[in-house]
Chain A
Amino acid sequence: MNTENKITAQSNPFLPEPARIVRTYPLTDDVHFFQVRIADMEKALSFRYEIGQFAMISVLGAGEAPFSISSTPSRPGLLEFCIRRAGAVTSKLFQLKENDFVGIRGPYGNGFPVEKMQGKDILIVMGGLGAAPLRSVLLYCLDNRDLFGRIILLHGAKRPAEMLFRDELLDIKKRDDLEGYLTVDGDDTGQWTENVGVVTTLFPKLENINPENTVGVVCGPPVMYKFVLQEFLKLDIPKDQILMTLERRMKCGVGKCGHCAIDYIYTCLEGPVFSYWDVTHMRELI
């Protein structure tokens, strides 16, 4: 047998693309904002993604981890991420400066069902780091304002200093084609002019919700889901119009490493966006 070994694989889905950090600054003490551009211009522009998808970011010497894309596909070229310092990869990432290199792979995951959401009222509820994927949804809806009905945003944080994208959202809130409510669990600044209380205390403020025509979207810390889902159900939003994104351990993003399995579903392929109806089928979640 001839053993000459030529690997013909043209593309290796596991191989990251070199990318540069264009801009980075702190959003809060332990959450930083990263704007990243794939170094190869052509590839940067052909990196097409949907809202709710994620990318794998790798940092030399530390490893690779999944992060939601926070920017909107309606503004191509630059990718934005909102990243909390958690461990090896993220700590090293925090030490990097503008112009430094990272690796990017993706986009991965199913993303939000944009077609199903069109024409509907969109009720976005986010808390904490849930702002990372849902900012993409919000900006996308605003960039394509005609495609959607009402856009309602409920955003919660522990304290004003911990509210991600606070200034950007306070600004957006001024638009009259959006109903925005911001809240903090407690105000330690004395200068907070918005609501005080957990995010569910914002629900009574919502008026004339037409549940059949509403898509509810939620992402936040685990404790938040339970309560927000209850509120959605109280509003009579159909189970398959309640959407959420879930977190699992992920090592590959492409359905091979097995880590993200929930029952027989791979979160990286069939998720991370699930409807409440999907979730009631998944035994491991209940």
Chain B
Amino acid sequence: MKIVKLKKDNLFPFLEAIKGDAELWAPVKKDDAKHTFQPVDDFSQIDLDYTRTILPPRKILLPAKFNMYQASKSEFTSDFSHISKKIIFGIHPCDIHAFLTMDKFYSYEIEDPYWLEARKNLVLLGHSCWPDENCMCKSTNTHVVEEGYDLFFTDLEDTYVVWIGSSRGDDLIREKPELFEEDLTDTDIQKFIQRRENRDKAFTTEINFAAMPDLMELKYNDALWEKLGDACLACGSCTNVCPTCNCYNVEDRPVLGKDFSNIQRCWDACTLENYSGVAGGENFREKRADRLKLWYTHKLQSYISKYGKPACVGCGRCVATCPVDINVKTVAQSLDGNEVDSFWDRLSKEVTK
């Protein structure tokens, strides 16, 4: 691994140098305190002081709605126009891990060119972060990244320690080598180690993910699921904000005045009412509890057998999003036998009162 140093003042010149015509996406502060990934031309909009964005960066590769292909009477033409060269700057370790998990998912058995081609055209510039009470990435072991990025910037007050994670990352550095320093001093190394130790200690939420597959199995018929189902608003938000959710629908949308259709791919969410409906009005998961079971099976259990780790990367977005406190944190803690302070638990007491 090659490591270099970059003075903070040199960050924008560096981004300017590598950007070219690519779209550069970075965290930008929306109103109040929430952040979102946005394409930026004016780098002063970038705000790296964030914990998590509202939507995960997968939206940059697969937008909520895009054309997959055009269909006419006797011809089908691929449409990859949503794919262009992009740079994501400021992405955190959990989200990088999510990309790696989705890479496996989208290559499993049959390759999905819409994801994989967008990935090939993507440069990932990671950035260090500091946990809040909802971050669980230390428990999912996704708080550090060893691979999956081109460059990774660790914030050491006035400088960045920059890890080069790919040969493309190395090429980027070479666009403006004069901005970087090759040698790290002992003080730098000391600072880096200290920062890592402090950060490790800053995690306040610990989840026993290793126990989850067994607990999901053992408690599959637990009353917990009914409680969750009673409270769930079926709003789909937990699913839409999760970096490892992938479900979508396909729509055939004829173009007015033309004789072809755009075949569109649009996000779907398994927590929504009609997700599992089939012809004849049958719905395999009419109950909210059944839909939540599916979601938590995917997050806590099923990816382990297929890809060796849980789908959840601990980003805490579901925790920050669900209006009724149904999230990986409360569900895992409850599966693990703990009382949890949550709206869904209070509601269950209210209703059975």
Contact = CB atoms under 8 A, between A and B. Distances in A.
A/B touching: CB–CB < 8 A: yes
A222 B284 CA distance: 12
Task: Choose among B21, B83, B110 the residue with the greatest number of A CB atoms under 10 Å from its CB.
Answer: B110
B278 interface: yes
Contacts of B302: 263-264
A63 B252 contact: yes
Interface string B121-156: 101000000000000000000000000000000000
A7 B248 contact: no
Given A62-B252, A255-B110, A264-B305, A5 B85 contact: yes
A15 B113 CA distance: 11
A61 interface: yes
B282 to A, nearest CB: 8
Interface string A1-27: 111010111001111111000000000
A84 to B, nearest CB: 8
Contacts of A3: 20-22, 84-85
Interface in B77-131: 78, 80, 83-85, 87, 105-106, 108-114, 116-117, 120-121, 123
B246 A258 contact: yes
A249 B294 CA distance: 15
A60 interface: yes
Nearest to A5: B84
A279 to B, nearest CB: 14
Task: Give the most central of B246, B277, B284, B306: most A CB within 10 Å.
Answer: B284
Main secondary structure, interface of B, reads: mixed
B308 interface: no
Given A60-B252, A256-B246, A259-B247, A14 B75 contact: no
A64 interface: yes
A63 B294 contact: no
B297 interface: yes
Contacts of A222: 282
Contact of B294 (A17, A103, A247, A261): A261
B113 A259 contact: no
Given A8-B117, A255-B110, A258-B246, A248 B83 contact: no
B12 interface: no
Contacts of B279: 86-87, 90
Q: Which secondary structure dominates where chain A touches chain B?
A: loop
Given A1-B20, A284-B294, A255 B113 contact: no
Contacts of A5: 80, 83-85, 121
A257 B249 contact: yes
A150 interface: no
Given A1-B18, A3-B22, A12 B78 contact: yes
Given A12-B113, A284-B290, A251 B249 contact: yes
Contact of B68 (A2, A14, A103, A258): A14
A269 B109 contact: yes
B58 to A, nearest CB: 13
A101 interface: yes
A259 B252 contact: no
A283 B220 contact: yes
Contacts of B84: 3, 5
B29 interface: no
17 contacts: A1-B21, A1-B123, A3-B22, A7-B117, A9-B113, A16-B71, A18-B76, A60-B254, A254-B109, A257-B246, A257-B247, A258-B246, A258-B247, A259-B249, A261-B298, A263-B297, A263-B302
